[in-house]
């Protein structure tokens, strides 16, 4: 087959079957394929480049470890890598949400809206647990809802008020 030529369906199926058979003989192949899929998803994502680079570094190191040492448990390596990826994504989300909270706090202070400031404080508490851990999923969602509510509240309080008057019926 020449470069750029599309293989027939049968040739493609045969190649896939050969690849599958070859991978079945390698104990860590499932773990490597899982990591490769996660790497592809992260590469295609729209997350910030610094977060993406960190996640790809973690996943690449896990893949290298699986391929280099056949005695390790590939499932545990994948599990650890995916947990680290999850934690990094949560940390990036928290950083974004704290940035939004700071901008909303400035707007609330400028507007003199103490209710909004109290809600922002509540959202910050959810995003930054006292024990220094990352917030759980429910806390992230709750903080997001609070920040959305504050944004709506501030938008409503800063939008210009319009009054409508009945048209004059006096004919001049």
In this prediction, residue 109 carries a pLDDT of: 95
In this prediction, residue 101 carries a pLDDT of: 97
For the chain, how long is the longest CA-to-CA vector? Answer: 97
In this prediction, residue 35 carries a pLDDT of: 86
What are the tens digits of pLDDT across the range 129-172? Answer: 989 899 999 999 999 999 999 999 999 876 655 444 544 444 44
- Within the chain, which residues score under 50 in pLDDT? 162-164, 166-172
Reading the block at residue 142, the tokens are 């709750």
Q: Are 70 and 28 in contact (CB under 8 A)?
A: yes
In this prediction, residue 156 carries a pLDDT of: 85
Q: Are 143 and 135 in contact (CB under 8 A)?
A: yes
In this prediction, residue 23 carries a pLDDT of: 67
> Helices in 25-73 by DSSP H: which ranges?
29-44, 49-68
Reading the block at residue 61, the tokens are 């190191």
In this prediction, residue 125 carries a pLDDT of: 95
In this prediction, residue 152 carries a pLDDT of: 95
């Amino acid at each position: 087959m020449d470069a750029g030529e599309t293989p027939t369906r049968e040739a493609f199926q045969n190649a896939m079957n050969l690849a599958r058979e070859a991978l079945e003989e390698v104990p860590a192949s499932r773990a490597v394929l899982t990591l490769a899929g996660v790497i592809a998803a992260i590469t295609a994502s729209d997350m910030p480049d610094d977060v993406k680079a960190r996640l790809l570094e973690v996943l690449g190191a896990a893949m290298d470890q699986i391929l280099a040492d056949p005695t390790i448990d590939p499932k545990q390596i994948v599990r650890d890598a995916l947990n680290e990826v999850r934690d990094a994504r949560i940390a990036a989300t928290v950083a974004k949400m704290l940035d939004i909270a700071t901008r909303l706090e400035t707007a609330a202070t400028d507007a003199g809206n103490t209710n909004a400031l109290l809600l922002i404080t509540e959202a910050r508490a959810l995003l930054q647990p006292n024990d220094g851990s990352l917030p759980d999923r429910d806390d992230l969602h709750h903080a997001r809802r609070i920040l959305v509510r504050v944004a709506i509240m501030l938008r409503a309080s800063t939008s210009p008020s319009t009054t409508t008057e009945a048209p004059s019926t006096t004919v001049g």
